[in-house]
């Protein structure tokens, strides 16, 4: 297995939530924290939407959400669901008929606020459709769209208002004996979102869907999401996450996994440990890391790679990674395998060589994991 193992001082004790299913993906309980994203194509453009879903799934998305604002979109959803490699969440806001149509089309989950769709009878109809078609529901509270009576009561969006909104929506589902739901309480303000989620974590045992909504462009949104969701995840709060970026949805998935990997909560792909580079570097660290990130995107196995420009920290980092390369000057550097010095390699040939070593080590790890998984059955 990978050398980059979890140490006791890195272990996070997760909040105990009950578990629901989003299609075949468990959310909550002791299930891995799932990573979600949302398509930005027109849902009625079936080919483009399917292509984007597949790209997100290839990047590692466990669940993908799709907006269904009209009847044409819910009709298109049926084919999208049929072609999707991951469960689909239908994004509904106000029209209860869209929720029923999405459930009939095969959506695994409905993102809807029960209190926003009208009468108690309409809520019952949506709950019946969800139950009949095996759908779960996500209650999605957002600081930017709180109910008017709560804004009048609290004067502004605040954590208390968001928690009260969520509990009101939860009550509508529970009154209909429906418990297959998760909850989100998103805001673009990091502090507001974090406080709302902390309040929800105390008020309900429902699985929590984390997100800092409207977080911004790729860099700014990544920072805000890492701070907001990272703090919550570190505290054990959160069962599924979506990073909201004004960027390609595939980038949302990648950032989501990087956040989880940094906290030791999910492990997928190559974790590259690299220095920022300085005048001591024995090769172009920045260009090398950029190239390796692209060349190693296809690796799904969890493993670690250190790329360090000089011998100040390089050997120490290499001791803790599966594969390492440390610059040593004179046009070459030292290759480390399994934490030990292995051989020297010319800088000009280093990238291709590292890719080969990583691919070989990934195959070895997969074989070790397969053998470990089949061991007990083989013994029987």
Of 283, 238, 285, 289, which is closest to residue 259 (Cα–Cα)?
238
Clarify whether residues 172 and 225 are in a common domain: yes
- For residue 6, is pLDDT > 70? no
Clarify whether residues 102 and 156 are in a common domain: yes
Helix %, strand %, coil % of the chain (to 5): 45, 20, 35
Q: Where does a domain end: 206, 229, 262?
A: 262
**Please, what is the average pLDDT of the chain?**
93
Over residues 289-315, the mean pLDDT reads 94
pLDDT band at 46 (very low <50, low <70, confident <90, very high): very high
Q: Where does a domain end: 206, 233, 262?
A: 262
Kindly state whether residue 48 falls inside one of the protein's structural domains: yes
Clarify whether residues 347 and 207 are in a common domain: no
Check residue 376 and give its pLDDT. 58
Of 212, 233, 240, which is closest to residue 14 (Cα–Cα)?
233
CA-angle at 128, arms to 127 and 133, nearest 5°: 100
Q: Where does a domain end: 262, 287, 307?
A: 262
Check residue 7 and give its pLDDT. 60
Over residues 350-362, the mean pLDDT reads 96
Check residue 374 and give its pLDDT. 80
- Inter-residue contact 196 to 162 (CB < 8 Å): yes
Kindly state whether residue 4 falls inside one of the protein's structural domains: no
Contacts of 73 (CB under 8 A, 6+ apart): 43, 44, 66, 67, 98
Clarify whether residues 198 and 337 are in a common domain: no
Taking only the tens place, the pLDDT of each residue in 187-215 is 999 999 999 999 999 999 999 999 999 99
User: How many structural domains does the chain have?
Assistant: 2
State how beta strands 332-337 and 323-327 pair. antiparallel
Check residue 378 and give its pLDDT. 47
Which range of residues forms the domain containing residue 287?
A: 270-379
Which is more confidently placed, 5 or 131? 131
Q: Give the predicted TM-score (pTM) of the model.
A: 0.90
Check residue 9 and give its pLDDT. 62
Kindly state whether residue 96 falls inside one of the protein's structural domains: yes
Taking only the tens place, the pLDDT of each residue in 317-339 is 999 999 999 998 789 999 999 99
Kindly state whether residue 3 falls inside one of the protein's structural domains: no
Kindly state whether residue 122 falls inside one of the protein's structural domains: yes
**Tokens standing for 32?**
């891995």
Clarify whether residues 98 and 211 are in a common domain: yes
Clarify whether residues 246 and 104 are in a common domain: yes
Taking only the tens place, the pLDDT of each residue in 357-375 is 999 999 998 998 888 888 6
Taking only the tens place, the pLDDT of each residue in 122-152 is 999 999 999 999 999 999 999 988 999 999 9
Taking only the tens place, the pLDDT of each residue in 87-114 is 999 999 889 999 999 999 999 999 998 7
**Tokens standing for 285?**
């660290």
Kindly state whether residue 2 falls inside one of the protein's structural domains: no
Clarify whether residues 100 and 153 are in a common domain: yes
CATH of the domain at 151: 3.20.20.20
Helix axes 190-203, 218-234, angle to 10 degrees: 30
- Inter-residue contact 134 to 81 (CB < 8 Å): no
């Amino acid at each position: 297995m990978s050398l980059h193992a979890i140490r006791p001082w890195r272990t996070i004790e997760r909040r105990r939530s009950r578990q629901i299913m989003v299609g075949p993906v468990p959310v909550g309980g002791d299930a891995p924290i799932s990573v979600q994203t949302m398509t930005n194509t027109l849902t009625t453009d079936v080919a483009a939407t399917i292509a984007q879903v597949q790209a997100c799934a290839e990047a590692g998305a466990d669940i993908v959400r799709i907006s269904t604002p009209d009847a044409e979109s819910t009709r298109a959803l049926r084919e999208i669901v049929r072609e999707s490699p991951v469960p689909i969440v239908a994004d509904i806001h106000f029209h209860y008929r869209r929720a029923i149509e999405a459930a009939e089309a095969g959506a695994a989950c409905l993102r809807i606020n029960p209190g926003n769709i009208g009468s108690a009878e309409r809520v019952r109809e949506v709950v019946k459709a969800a139950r009949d078609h095996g759908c779960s529901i996500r209650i999605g509270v957002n600081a930017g769209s709180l109910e008017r009576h709560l804004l009048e009561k609290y004067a502004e969006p605040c954590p208390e208002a968001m928690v009260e909104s969520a509990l009101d929506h939860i009550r509508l589902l529970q009154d209909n004996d429906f418990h297959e739901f998760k909850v989100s309480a998103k805001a673009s303000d990091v502090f507001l979102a974090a406080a709302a989620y902390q309040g929800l974590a105390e008020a309900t045992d429902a699985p929590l869907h984390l997100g800092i909504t409207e977080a911004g462009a790729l860099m700014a949104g990544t920072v805000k999401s890492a701070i907001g969701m990272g703090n919550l995840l570190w505290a054990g709060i959160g069962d599924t996450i979506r990073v909201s970026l004004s960027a390609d949805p595939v980038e949302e998935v990648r950032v989501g996994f990087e956040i989880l990997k940094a906290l030791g909560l999910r492990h997928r792909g190559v974790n590259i440990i690299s220095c920022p580079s300085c005048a001591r570097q024995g090769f172009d660290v920045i260009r090398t890391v950029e190239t390796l990130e692209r060349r190693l995107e296809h690796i799904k196995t969890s493993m670690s790679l250190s790329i360090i420009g000089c011998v100040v920290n390089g050997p120490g980092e290499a001791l803790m990674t599966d594969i390492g390369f440390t610059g040593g000057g004179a046009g070459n550097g030292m290759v480390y395998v399994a934490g030990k010095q292995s051989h020297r390699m010319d800088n000009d040939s280093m990238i291709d060589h590292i890719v080969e070593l990583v691919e070989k080590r990934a195959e070895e790890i997969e074989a070790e994991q397969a053998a470990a998984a089949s061991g007990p059955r083989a013994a029987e």
